[in-house]
């Protein structure tokens, strides 16, 4: 009476074992083989000259217009002259793109790190890396360590400042969206509201015309302004970096860009082999001579 059901159960068990064996044969590869695939894929994604760029075979690099010295020379980013032009081409070479494969694009400073899809592969325009900006865009690792500086006309009361306290009663100005402006509001905390300008050119004009007592820019720009553009001005001093991590300029990329890790690896390699230090020595003034404002 029970023989038939037992036989049926044995037959079903045999079929189940056979099905399981087939399933195992068709199962995914073992864990170690599966994990090898992503790393190979990552290696291919950073293959020299074959990145997933906006235009195949080209590297689109953006910066503001005009392109100021000492970061660029003669307002021509494509000539390879000036610190950031030289850095851009060094990064491009590291990524496998020669000079003829680099396409330059004009993008306003504030727009470079604003939310939204970008038309460039990376932007280079003295953009400081910050947690707030990282919410909207990606950054490479830093390619330049930054200090901010104060510029005032020679013989003015502002030119005599030797401390942050001396700056508090002054009318200060800086370009919109910059760390320079942040230093005015967060470090100096002046009694009078800072003047904000769309471009550094406007800030320089305001200084020359006496509309502000002093302006704040990054230190290399301050050296150039006082040496070549507003020669009756002087560098009052430089600020110490705030916090343990130095302020750094980084290359700006689309949020979640597939190129971010490749570009970061390129910047790190240029820092490690001394290329960045050599470019800095060639194009930027020595910043250590400016007095420190405390």
Average pLDDT, the chain: 86
The pLDDT tens digits of the residues spanning 191-246 come to: 999 999 999 999 999 999 999 999 999 999 999 999 899 999 999 999 987 766 78
Model confidence at 27: pLDDT above 50: no
Burial of 268 (0-12, 13-18, 19+ CB in 10 A): middle
Give the phi and the psi of residue 3 in degrees, each rounded to 5: -65, -45
Give the phi and the psi of residue 13 in degrees, each rounded to 5: -65, -40
Say what percent of the chain tops pLDDT 70. 83
Cα distance between residue 174 and residue 26, in whole Å: 65
Cα distance between residue 157 and residue 161, in whole Å: 7
Cα distance between residue 252 and residue 153, in whole Å: 34
Say what percent of the chain tops pLDDT 90. 77
By three-state DSSP, how is residue 233 classified? strand
pLDDT band at 14 (very low <50, low <70, confident <90, very high): very low
Q: Indicate the pTM of the whole model.
A: 0.77
Give the phi and the psi of residue 229 in degrees, each rounded to 5: -110, -45
Long-range contacts, 77-80 (Cβ 8 Å, 24+): 77/104, 78/102, 78/104
> Would you state the structure tokens that stand for residue 121, as one six-digit string?
């592969």
Cβ within 8 Å of residue 89, ≥6 positions away: 80, 99, 102
* pLDDT given for residue 290 in this prediction: 82
> Would you state the structure tokens that stand for residue 221, as one six-digit string?
């720009």
The pLDDT tens digits of the residues spanning 102-130 come to: 999 999 999 999 999 999 999 999 999 99
Give me the mean pLDDT over the 26-36 stretch: 33
DSSP 193: P
Q: Are 90 and 275 in contact (CB under 8 A)?
A: yes
pLDDT band at 15 (very low <50, low <70, confident <90, very high): very low
Cα distance between residue 91 and residue 141, in whole Å: 12
Give the phi and the psi of residue 293 in degrees, each rounded to 5: -90, 125
* Per-position DSSP letters for 128-146, written without gaps between them: BP-TTGGGTEEEEEEEEE-
pLDDT band at 268 (very low <50, low <70, confident <90, very high): very high
b/e map 194-210, b = 16+ CB within 10 Å: bbebebbebbbebbeee
């Amino acid at each position: 009476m029970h023989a038939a059901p037992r036989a049926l159960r044995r037959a079903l068990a045999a079929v189940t074992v056979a099905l399981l064996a087939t399933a195992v044969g068709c199962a995914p590869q073992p864990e170690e083989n599966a994990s090898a695939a992503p790393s190979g894929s990552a290696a291919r994604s950073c293959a020299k000259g074959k990145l997933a760029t906006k235009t195949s075979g080209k590297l689109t690099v953006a910066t503001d217009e005009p392109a100021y010295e000492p970061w660029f020379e003669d307002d021509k980013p494509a000539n390879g002259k000036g610190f950031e032009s030289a850095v851009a081409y060094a990064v491009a070479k590291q990524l496998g793109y020669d000079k003829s494969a680099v396409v330059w694009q004009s993008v306003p400073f504030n727009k470079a790190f604003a939310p939204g899809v970008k038309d460039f592969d990376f932007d280079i325009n003295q953009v400081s890396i910050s947690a707030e900006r990282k919410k909207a865009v990606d950054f490479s690792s830093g390619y330049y360590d930054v200090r901010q500086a104060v510029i005032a006309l020679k013989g003015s009361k502002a030119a005599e400042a030797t401390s942050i306290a001396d700056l508090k009663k002054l009318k200060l100005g800086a370009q919109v969206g910059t760390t320079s402006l942040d230093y005015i509001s967060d470090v100096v905390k002046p009694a009078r509201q800072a003047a904000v300008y769309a471009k550094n050119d406007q800030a320089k004009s305001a200084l020359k015309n006496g509309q502000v007592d002093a302006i704040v820019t990054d230190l290399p720009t301050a050296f150039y302004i006082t040496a070549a553009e507003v020669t009756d001005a002087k560098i009052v001093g430089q600020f110490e970096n705030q916090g343990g991590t130095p302020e750094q300029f980084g290359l700006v990329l689309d949020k979640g860009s597939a190129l971010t890790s490749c570009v970061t690896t390129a910047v790190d390699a240029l820092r490690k082999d001394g290329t960045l230090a050599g470019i800095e020595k060639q194009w930027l003034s020595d910043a250590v001579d400016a007095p420190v404002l405390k």
